[in-house]
Structure 1
Amino acid sequence: MGHFRSFLDGIGFFFQGLRWVTRHPRWWLFGLIPALIVFVLYATVLYLLGTNALAIADWATPFADGWGEGAQTALHALFGLVIFGAGVVLFVVTFTATTLILGEPFYEKLSEKVEETHGDVPTGHELPLWKSIPRSIKDSLVTLGYVLLFTIPLFFLGFVPVIGQTVVPVLGALISGFFLTVELTTLAMERRGIARKGRFVLLRGNKAPALGFGVLLFLLFLIPLVAVVAMPAAVAGAAIMVRTRLSPA
């Protein structure tokens, strides 16, 4: 029951962030700018992937060239659906990292403003922009590596009957949600001087709230345009979670 309660607490942090941005609409609009730019770029790539999914499936299944037309069509449709689904999951997982990197000055300021409304803002660990952006890129690539380490096996397990349609989507949501929390809490944790390894340790020790926060966002980000609208609230909620739950000192 304690873990379930903590999971719900994690969900609650998003709604606290949503409440904050609704009370500060100017900062919500401010946080929409980089998210909207990245969304347009990603939507274009997804459109191209969707329109070419069957062609990619045909190229990836040369072993089926001798099959009957009906069997080939079914296989290509299945492969095309899985390829597009993998693209959507990759979109969700990398959207946050890409948006945070490109919009770091925006979200750093937004995160600071959230903390200001809760008291003093931690200081003493600031980096100049020319140092913080390369470090953010490096950290995001490391996180993406961990994501792929888990999601690539899940991709192939998705072809297994029953398991691929039940267990795999749940595991995918949990894994993707956890790493979304990793990305979103980076700004507030770096403000406290917590490096990448320390952030992973801290979040592994608070899996339930980290999963509650991240899984909700993963599901929301699957809905078109919601990722853009919810991004400022997600950044605000992550700052509140770090300040009040993960690293209150």
Structure 2
Amino acid sequence: MDASRIASPVTGAAGRFLTGVGLLLRGLGLYVRSPGLMLLGIVPALISGVLFVAAFATLVYFVDDIAALVTPFADDWSTTARNLARVVAGLAFLGLGGLLAVVSFTAVTLVIGDPFYEKISERVEERYGGTPNAVEVPFWSSLRRSLADSVRLVALAALIGIPLFVAGFIPVVGQTVVPVIGAAVGGWFLALELVGAPFYRRGMRLPQRRAILKADRPMALGFGVAVFVCFLIPLGAVLVMPAAVAGAALLARRSLGQSIEGPLSASPVDGS
């Protein structure tokens, strides 16, 4: 399949980026209109959320000690210079931890809540005409593939996060430019992770969905960055996760050139 023919941008990059943001908003709209099924998605997100908040809180608690451990060269500096070096190191660690936490939170939550999120994604697609050429994917096979792809994505995020972590030590740039790049990187990996279910239903694995999303990268980034920012808000990941799954189904259909427009009288996602 030639990805370049699937989702050619029809407006500028900024317009496509906003289109991606709009897909998350539409997912939120489906969440509000159909709470019965969507609320089920909060359960696995809540479980993951508790685990990751505890892990990040532990990092915050020990970040001063970690910063001092990685900056032994500053021990003989003046108090002001030493403190500045360790504040920069601490912020760099928190930035890397935040990036990895957001991406891995999504991966873990999708694995824990696979049956719930698969059902949400299916219902969204049914609303707009169903899944063309769907393939039957056994639960355990789907879970193994999802887990393998999630591990690959988290590993890639960590690999890219290390240079960003190092760049975080650069004064000013490390606290301004690097977080923006981190949001873009995190957003891209979130988009790839979240569209997994609709692509699996079409028999497509990670390399294919990566190629297809690249065909309209600004739209995928708009969706992913919007999710990333929401996940940074306290409890945002728990509350937004089901809506992000719904929005990802729309992103997959849009990227594949399939309709995401339906009659206003269409039934709610939960069938109520």
Q: What TM-score do the two structures reach when normalised by structure 2?
A: 0.86
Corresponding residue SS for 1:67: coil
2: CA distance, partners of 1:60 / 1:69: 17
Counterpart position of 1:6? 16
Task: Name whichever of 82-91 and 16-25 sits farther off.
Answer: 82-91
Match of 2:117 in 1: 107
Once residues 35 and 161 of structure 1 are traced to their aligned partners in structure 2, the CA distance between those partners, rounded to angstroms, is: 36
Letter in structure 2 aligned against 1:67: W
Residue among 215, 225, 242 paired with 2:225: 215
1:204 paired residue among 214, 222, 232: 214
Q: Which amino acid aligns with 1:108?
A: E
- For residues 181-221 of structure 1, what are the alpha-carbon distances to aligned partners after superposition, in whole Å with 9 as ceiling and x for unaligned? 00011111111111111111001111011011011111111
Worse-matched range after superposition: 74-83 or 153-162: 74-83
Q: Which residue of 2 aligns with 1:81?
A: 91
- Deviation of 1:124 after TM superposition, in Å, equals 4.3
Following superposition, the deviation at residue 74 of structure 1 comes to 3.1
| Structure 1: distance between partners of 2:24 and 2:130 | 21
Q: How big is the shift at 1:165? A: 2.7
Task: Tell me the residue number matched to 2:177.
Answer: 167
Cα pair 2:198 2:249 within 8 Å, conserved: yes
The answer for the alignment partner of 1:158 in structure 2 is: 168
1:131 and 2:144 are equivalent in the alignment: no
* TM-score, normalisation: structure 1: 0.93
Once residues 81 and 251 of structure 2 are traced to their aligned partners in structure 1, the CA distance between those partners, rounded to angstroms, is: 50
2:77 to 43, 67, 90: 67
Asked if structure 2 preserves the Cα contact closer than 8 Å seen for 1:177 and 1:218, the reply is yes
Q: How many residues align?
A: 249
- Residue 154 of structure 1: CA displacement? 1.3
* Residue matched to 1:183: 193
Match of 2:30 in 1: 20
Query: Measured at CA, do residues 124 and 115 of structure 1 come closer, stay the same or move farther in structure 2, by a change above 3 Å?
Result: closer
Are residues 1:148 and 2:158 paired? Answer: yes
Aligned counterpart, 1:31: 41
1: distance between equivalents of 2:52 and 2:256? 31
Q: Is the 8 A contact 1:206 1:246 kept in 2?
A: no
Q: Distance in 2 between matches of 1:146 and 1:86?
A: 13
Question: What letter matches 1:245 in structure 2?
Answer: S
**Distance (Å, rounded) in 1 between the aligned partners of 2:159 and 2:24:** 27
Matching residue within 30, 39, 55 for 2:65: 55
Q: CA RMSD in A?
A: 1.7
> How many angstroms does 1:78 deviate by?
2.6
The residue identity in structure 1 corresponding to 2:146 is S
| More displaced 10-residue stretch of structure 1: 161-170 or 111-120 | 161-170
For 1:43 and 1:213, locate their aligned partners in 2 and report how far apart those are by CA, in whole Å: 24
1:30-79 deviation per Cα after TM superposition (whole angstroms, max 9, x unaligned): 11010000000000111111111111122222223333444333332332
Contiguous gaps of at least 5 residues in structure 2:
1-10, 260-272
1:15 aligned partner, one-letter code: L
Judging by fraction of residues, say which structure has more helix. Answer: 1
Q: Which amino acid aligns with 1:185?
A: V
Distance 1:66 1:162, change over 3 A: closer
Deviates more, 1:3-12 or 1:64-73: 64-73
Task: Name the aligned partner's letter for residue 106 of structure 1.
Answer: F
Relative to 1, partners in 2 of residues 1:68 and 1:5: Cα closer, same or farther, differing over 3 Å? closer
Identity of aligned residues (%): 45
What do residues 134-189 of structure 1 show as CA deviations (whole Å, max 9, x unaligned)?
A: 21111111112222232211111122133223322221111111111000111111
